[in-house]
Amino acid sequence: MIELTASDFRPGRGSLAVWRRNVRVWRKLIRVSIVLNFGEPVIYLLALGYGLQRFVGAMDGLPYMVFLASGLLVSAVMHTTAFEAMYSVYTRMEPQKTYQAILATPLRVADIVAGELLWCATKGVIASTAILIVAGCMGLISFPGALGVIPVAFLTGLAFAGFVMPLAPFARSYDYFSYFYTLVIVPMFMCSGVFYPIDSLPAAGQWAASLLPLYHAVELARPLATQAPLSAPLVHGLVLLLYAGAGYALSVRFYSRRLLQ
Amino acid sequence: MRGRSSVCVPVSDPVIEFAHVVKQYDGRRVVDGLSLRIEQGQCFGLLGPNGAGKTTAIRMLLGMTHPESGSIRVLGHAVPEQAHRARAGMGVVPQLDNLDPDFSVRENLSVYASFFGLPDNTLDDRVDWLLEFAELTHKQHARIGELSGGMQRRLTLARALVNNPGLIVLDEPTTGLDPQVRHVMWSRLRDLQQSGKTLLLTTHYMEEAERLCDVLAIMDHGRIIAHGSPAELVRAHCERNVFEFPRLDAPQQAALDALPEVRLERSGTSWYAYTEQADPVHDWAAGHPQLRMLHRHHNLEDVFLRLTRRDLRD
């Protein structure tokens, strides 16, 4: 069994090389990625926004389209990051053996984990920026205040990468992630205040939502996008940081166990 | 002080040193008290049947598996604690190619170089040279999936050289390659050896070991059971003459076995008679003109089969 010491958790500059590797791959597929980044929010905003707006009118004092757009700013981060931290990370770990190749260089598991978390957060920011642009063009959010969403998107990306990345070392195939996506990510998407305020949930639901990262990301992003005052931003920020930090530590542990047998 | 030490022949700090290394999986000792020493500039071959512990030994050398006990030093660094420092001076050709399918041939080299912290602006010349070394210049923009197995292997070897390592570790570098490609790999490895690099390779091919290696260690059950130059091993562990018989009936077996100083062994369906003196076997065979027989000199394969026994390991 691998015994880790404190220094095994300290990432080095090598994590930036891992991040850059992923940027280089992304740049090759940039057209497809960008189309997806812009296409998905447009579909959500048009289909759900226009469809529901007529019936719902206002939600929590905001026009429904505005309410929805400000939530999608971070739920898109969740989807992008979770996908990357499950499927892409597993692909690099298992069929491509990219991590094995990297571990024959001076890089260590901590560098790989830190680089991947950083990359997941970067992708989250890209996804969120695409929505800022789309929603901005539709006049749903107000600049420049909404630019404050970008650091929130980065933090949200780190939190979700931390939430999801520790799973892959336990996976034996891609199917494993479908369960997690259907049983955890989708319910979180539905019940964290993206589509309606969580006050409408029963107490247990509210409690559950408040333990998960998406709710806290929404609580930060919506006021920033709609020029409303933030409530308890430190608490929300700390919860997201906690997910990121705990996820990092667990990932170093689990990936070491899987990769260094 | 400085001037003097540069004149001195470096007092042989081994490039690799294993001392009493033990590694177990599920209570089974895969590496069982392994000790070995590899000197600067050597081409060291690690031979052994499947499951002998060769790959585990290589993984431990890289810090990719941690031993239960014993100590390992590589390029002056304690492993696994400082393995990442040791890896900065090493090149690795793994048993299975793990080239990056997301990148072209050329990008595989430059991306890998970035993991060694080599800056982009110094890389072009080096990458050009490596592409030439691997005879892949014409394929530099191809995707990995478009390469033949031999090309992938050459690219993996080129990739192992991006950091200009002093030590190159190759785990079965030519397994699964056709003879032409194997010869290309061998000549490349000899080039590296002549340029003063230290090579450690594992192999199943005795011919490869005999051609390339200065020193061989035969490993079985996680331990080194014989050690020396190919010629020394053959001399020490096998009689000079080998007679192969595809078929022998029981009386023939008994007759051969009864000849003085003949050792008769069976491998698969064939029989092998080992002896220092060829004449008694020839004399005996003259009385059996129907018998199919091949007489040859001893070689490394005979030693390997003798020391690791002939049973199948699967």
ipTM of the complex: 0.92
Question: What pLDDT does residue A3 have?
Answer: 79
DSSP H helical segments within A87-108, as ranges?
89-93, 98-102
Residue A138 main-chain phi, psi, to 5 deg: -85, 0
Average pLDDT rounded to a whole number, residues B181-205? 93
Average pLDDT rounded to a whole number, residues B280-295? 92
CA distance A78 to A188: 10
Question: What pLDDT does residue A196 have?
Answer: 95
Average pLDDT rounded to a whole number, residues B196-210? 93
Is the pLDDT at A14 greater than 90? The verdict is yes
CA distance A20 to B216: 41
Chain B neighbours among A 14-53 (CB < 8 Å)? 14, 17-18, 20-21, 24-25, 28
Average pLDDT, chain A: 94
The number of C-beta contacts closer than 8 angstroms across A and B is 66
Question: What pLDDT does residue B148 have?
Answer: 94
In a domain, A1, yes or no: no
CA dihedral (B304, B306, B310, B312) positive or negative: negative
Specify whether the CB–CB gap between A25 and A61 falls below 8 A.
no
How confident is the model over A72-106, as pLDDT tens digits?
999 999 999 999 999 999 999 999 999 999 999 99
Cα B257 versus chain centre, distance: 35
Is the pLDDT at A110 greater than 50? The verdict is yes
Q: Which structure tokens are listed for B164?
A: 């200009």
Question: How many angstroms separate the Cα of B239 from the Cα of each of B125, B246, B269, B272?
Answer: 52, 20, 21, 11
Is the pLDDT at B308 greater than 90? The verdict is no
CA distance B285 to B26: 51
Average pLDDT, chain B: 91
Residue A162 main-chain phi, psi, to 5 deg: -65, -35
Is the pLDDT at B4 greater than 50? The verdict is no
Q: What percent of chain A has pLDDT over 70?
A: 99
| CATH 3.30.310 is the classification of domain B239-297 | no
- Options 3.40.50.720, 3.40.50.300, 3.30.870.10, 3.40.50.970; CATH for B11-89+167-238 is 3.40.50.300
How confident is the model over A122-136, as pLDDT tens digits?
999 999 999 999 999
Question: What pLDDT does residue B2 have?
Answer: 41
In a domain, A200, yes or no: yes
Beta bridge partners of A18: none
In a domain, A112, yes or no: yes
Question: How many angstroms separate the Cα of B228 from the Cα of each of A13, B45, B237?
Answer: 42, 10, 11
Domain that holds residue A115: 6-259
Closest residue on chain A to B101 (Cα): A96
CA dihedral (B295, B298, B300, B302) positive or negative: positive
Asked which of A2-6, A33-37, A50-54, B10-14 is least confident by mean pLDDT, the reply is: B10-14
- Determine whether the interchain pair A105/B99 forms a contact, defined as Cβ–Cβ distance below 8 Å: no
CATH 3.40.50.300 maps onto chain B at: 11-89+167-238
The minimum CA-CA distance between B159 and chain A, rounded to whole Å, is 10
- Exposure on the CB side of residue B272, measured as CA atoms within 13 A: 20
The count of domains in chain A is 1
Chain A neighbours among B 70-89 (CB < 8 Å)? 84-85, 87-88
Is the pLDDT at B207 greater than 50? The verdict is yes
Question: What pLDDT does residue B312 have?
Answer: 52
Which contiguous run of DSSP H or E holds residue B45? Answer: strand B43-47
How confident is the model over B84-101, as pLDDT tens digits?
999 999 999 999 999 999
